């Protein structure tokens, strides 16, 4: 198992996994749009993507976006995406990606990492087993669609 920080040379690997991730969340497959999205994020440097490999095969990723807490006046990450290909789940890739994300947070001296997931996502057990705490604070979201 290898975890690397992705760059533009990993675009095809990332786009394929990102497309799988979106399909997992009931979106239509669109490999070209996935590639464009990932390329834009990497070029603009508004994300850090960690890519997990089993041997030479890309099998998972996490995507961290930079943001800030205005109350504490500190930067933090939003772990917007965590995905491991179904054939490689429960083999430690998710744990490794979460740990590498936490290490980046420490390296950057960020306040912490926030993540949001569906209430039905079985990965919640993984998050809790790795020290993530459920914040039951009320959250609102406005959609422009």
Which residues neighbour 102 within 8 Å (Cβ) at sequence distance 6 or greater?
A: 113
The 3-state DSSP class for residue 118 equals: coil
List, for residues 121-130, the tens digit of each pLDDT value. 777 777 788 8
List, for residues 55-93, the tens digit of each pLDDT value. 999 999 999 999 999 999 999 999 989 999 999 999 999
Write out the CATH class of domain 2-129.
alpha beta
Q: What is the rounded CA–CA span in Å between residue 84 and residue 65?
A: 19
pTM reported for the whole predicted model: 0.88
User: By the 8 A CB rule, do 83 and 98 touch?
Assistant: no
Q: What is the rounded CA–CA span in Å between residue 76 and residue 65?
A: 8
């Amino acid at each position: 198992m290898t975890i690397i920080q992705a760059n533009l040379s990993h675009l095809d690997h990332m786009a394929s996994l990102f497309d799988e991730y979106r399909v997992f969340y009931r979106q239509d497959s669109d490999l070209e749009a996935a590639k464009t999205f990932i390329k834009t994020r990497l070029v603009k440097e508004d994300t850090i993507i960690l890519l997990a490999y089993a041997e030479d095969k890309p099998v998972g990723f996490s995507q961290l976006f930079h943001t800030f807490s205005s109350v504490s006046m500190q930067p933090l990450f939003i772990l917007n995406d965590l995905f491991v290909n179904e054939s490689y789940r429960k083999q430690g890739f998710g744990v490794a990606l979460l740990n590498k994300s936490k290490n980046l947070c420490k390296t950057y001296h960020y306040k912490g990492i926030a993540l949001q997931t569906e209430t039905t996502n079985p990965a919640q057990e993984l998050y809790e087993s790795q020290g993530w705490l459920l914040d039951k604070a009320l959250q609102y979201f406005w959609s422009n669609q």
